[in-house]
Each structure stands twice: as C-alpha cells, then as structure tokens.
Structure 1
Amino acid sequence: MFIRAYLRASTEEQDATRAQAELLNFTQSKDVKIASQYIESKSGAKMDRPELARLIADSHPGDILLIEKVDRLSRLPYEQWKKLKTQLIDAKIHIVVVDQLMTHGIINGSEENSMIAKVLTEFMIDLAAAMARDDYETRRKRQAQGILKAQELGKYQGRQPDLELRENIKLLINEDKSWSQVQNLWKCSRSTIAKAVKG
C-alpha cells in the first residue's frame, strides 16, 4: 500500500504546495510515509488534470490517494464527479481526506473491511464533492454579480497586476537570478515572471 499525496491549486498564482506540511504532519501522526507527491495548478472544476491522471495510472490496487480536503480532488459537476469516482473505484484506490476522520480507517487499520464504514465513507465523499461544487458555483455567481454591479457604476477596472511584485522580479532577473530562484524567493508562477520580464 503506497500513499500518494495529491496537491492542487486552481491557478499558477496560487501555491499548490501550501498543504504539504499538513499532509506530512498527518502521515507522521499515523506513523506512515508519503511515497510520492503529485502537484499541479489546475481548476478542480475541470476533468483535464494531468497529474491526477498520472497518480491514477501509477497506483496499484489498495493504494491511498491522500488529500487535504475533498475540494482539492473535485469541484466537478455531478456527472463528471461520477466519472472520476468510477476511475478511482476501478483502480481500487482508497481516498483519505485529512479533515474527514471517517476516511482514516484504512490508515488506522480499523474497520478496513467494514461494509458500513465503506458505504458511509463513499456517501461522505459524495456529499463533500457536491458541497465543493456548490461552493464553487456560488463564488462564481457572486463574483459575476459584483463585476456587473461595478460595471454599472463605471468602477470596474478588471483584475490589476501586482506592480510591486513585477518590479521586484525585474530587479532579481537583472541581477542574473534564475527563474527558479525568483520563484522560490517570491512564491510566484513562471507566467508571472514572464509577464514581469515582458512588461
């Protein structure tokens, strides 16, 4: 049984590795180790996630997919969530969610074969996935309403770039720092660096 950690952020500007420490603390508290990590910056509302697909392909029956919260795995519409869940079930991958105690049984070694525990865990994950999707849609709707209202008032200017960050990036690039060094120092994406260099 290998534990495969999946870390996801919605955009390159966000830090996909943010939950690493929490996942590590969790596995240490259970006296187990993470065998590999799969990290990507892709929306949880999209099926096209290469690192998640690689995790599923790399997994053996009985392996564990470890995530911080269910929304790291899915903000998908119900039909697409069913498709992803079927892939996980067909691969015989167990899902363990750090903030969902009910999913910890497979790691704890307790109730691993209990049909009730498995049914409850599946129900809980389905419910959490539905709630994650609902939260995603609600935030998108509120964002659209806010933009519309700002446009009506003539106050909408769109998303503004972080000019201070871009200046700091330019300074480091001019000092012959590598893009990787800049990323590590400022916790920014390569696309942000490209925009700073270009602008």
Structure 2
Amino acid sequence: MIRVYMRASTDDQDADRAKQSIKDFLKTKGCAVAGWYTENISGTKLDRPELSRLINDSESGDILFVEKLDRLTRLPYEQWESLKAKLRDKGLVVVVQDQPMTHSAFAESDNDTFTSRILTAFILDLSASQARDDYETRRVRAAQGIKKAKEQGKYKGRSRDYVKREAIRKLLLAGDTYSSIQQVIGCSPYLVQQVSRELKQAE
C-alpha cells in the first residue's frame, strides 16, 4: 500500500500542488495510491493530524511517499527521532520522490530489504538534518537582516517598512508559518497577512 503525504506550511500555499506530478511518477513505477493525506501545517511541528491519520491507517510494509523530505520533516533532531520511532514501530517504509536511492523499496525482495533500508535510513537522516538546517538558516538570516536594518536606522516610525516586508515575503515564500514569522521578524499578525495577500495578488 502506498500512502502519499502532502504538506504546505501556510493556508496560502497549495498542499495539493504536487499531486499530479506524484501520480505521474508513481504510474511509471506501476504503483497505485491507497490514500492521500494533505494538510497545511508547519513541518517543524511533530503533532500533525493528517500525518497521524496516515500512520494509524497503515500496515507493516506500507510505503509513506513524499515529494521531498522537508514535506515530512523540518523537525529538530530529538523530534525527528521520535517520528522515526513511530514510523519504524508501524513498519512504514519512507520513499522520497527526489531521493532516487529510496526508490529501491518499490522492487526490493526479502533478501535485500535489510541492506536497502539501512541505506535509506542513512540518506533520510542526512536529508532531515539538511532540511532543519535550511529552516534555521533562513530564520537566523531574517533576524540578522532586521537587526542590521534597525542599527542603520531604517525603521521610520509607522512608515511603510520595506525591509521588514521583504523579510516577511522571503519567509512566506520559504514556507514558514505566520506565527514563526511573527516571532522571527517581531511584527504583527496583520502585517504578515497583508504581505501574504500582496503575494497572492502578484501571482
């Protein structure tokens, strides 16, 4: 059974965006999808309703399929280990569309299951670490940009703050949640929503 998990960080993003490309890819593998699980929630959160539903619906040997690993996790190390334990206990096999080394799960036999899964686990750990590092790097750079702008006196009362708005725009495009952007930038929910609306209008 192949169960596809799709996630986007904000309500303004389309979590179903990759659905057709995933269908096309799995068709080339001669595989059919048993279930689609879609939600708009940050990959930095361990508690995700649709991901939990996928795990509960699964049987040992089922495939959890994602387009990119950061759709599954941007979790800190300890929480990633916790999620892996849940997947392992359920007997789920993770396959990532843009990680060809994980595709062996589609055709593996009992004889090569152990070797391929050890290799896959190693690849997934590296990719999960990179996804988290990328997330943290964006947050740090955004905070540094805001701090530098303040030091240079670019904040002028209640005038339109283009530096802050640009930082918000970049984080929205990177998939950060409204709440995390507010914490990093130090801005109101209204400003994040306003920049988000402007992004949608520009599409």
Fold shared, TM-score > 0.5 on shorter chain: yes
**Partners in 1 of 2:108 and 2:7 — Cα distance?**
29
Maintained 8 Å contact 1:62/1:93:
yes
Residue 29 (structure 2) aligns with: 30
Find the residue that maps to 1:86 and give its secondary structure: helix
Q: Which amino acid aligns with 1:136?
A: Y
**Partners in 2 of 1:38 and 1:23 — Cα distance?**
13
What whole-Å deviation, never above 9, does each CA across 1:19-44 have from its counterpart, x for those lacking one? Answer: 11221111111111111111111111
Residues 1:143 and 2:142 are matched in the alignment: yes
CA RMSD of aligned residues (A): 2.2
Residue 58 (structure 1) aligns with: 57
**Between Structure 1 and Structure 2, how many residues are aligned?**
167
Maintained 8 Å contact 1:102/1:121:
yes
Maintained 8 Å contact 2:2/2:34:
yes
What whole-Å deviation, never above 9, does each CA across 1:86-136 have from its counterpart, x for those lacking one? Answer: 0000000010100111111121x1355422221111000011001101111
Q: Which amino acid aligns with 1:116?
A: T
Find the residue that maps to 2:12 and give its secondary structure: coil
Residue 131 (structure 1) aligns with: 130
Residue 76 (structure 2) aligns with: 77
Residue 94 (structure 2) aligns with: 95
Residues 1:154 and 2:143 are matched in the alignment: no
Residue 118 (structure 2) aligns with: 119
Q: Which amino acid aligns with 1:96?
A: V
Quick one: structure 1 residues 13 and 30, their matched pair in 2 at CA, closer, same or farther if it must change by over 3 Å?
same
Q: Which amino acid aligns with 1:103?
A: T
Maintained 8 Å contact 2:105/2:116:
no
Q: TM-score with structure 2 length normalisation?
A: 0.75
Alignment gaps of 5+ in structure 2: 156-160, 166-190
Maintained 8 Å contact 1:106/1:112:
no
What whole-Å deviation, never above 9, does each CA across 1:41-88 have from its counterpart, x for those lacking one? Answer: 111111121110111011111111000011111010000000000000
**Partners in 2 of 1:164 and 1:104 — Cα distance?**
39
Q: Which amino acid aligns with 2:119?
A: L
**Partners in 2 of 1:124 and 1:12 — Cα distance?**
30
- Which deviates more from structure 2 when the two are superposed, residues 3-12 or residues 148-157? 148-157
Residues 1:110 and 2:111 are matched in the alignment: no
**Partners in 2 of 1:142 and 1:165 — Cα distance?**
21
Find the residue that maps to 2:55 and give its secondary structure: helix
Maintained 8 Å contact 1:105/1:112:
no
Q: TM-score with structure 1 length normalisation?
A: 0.77
**Partners in 2 of 1:63 and 1:15 — Cα distance?**
26
Residue 196 (structure 1) aligns with: none
Residue 5 (structure 2) aligns with: 6
Maintained 8 Å contact 1:105/1:111:
no
Quick one: structure 1 residues 19 and 112, their matched pair in 2 at CA, closer, same or farther if it must change by over 3 Å?
farther
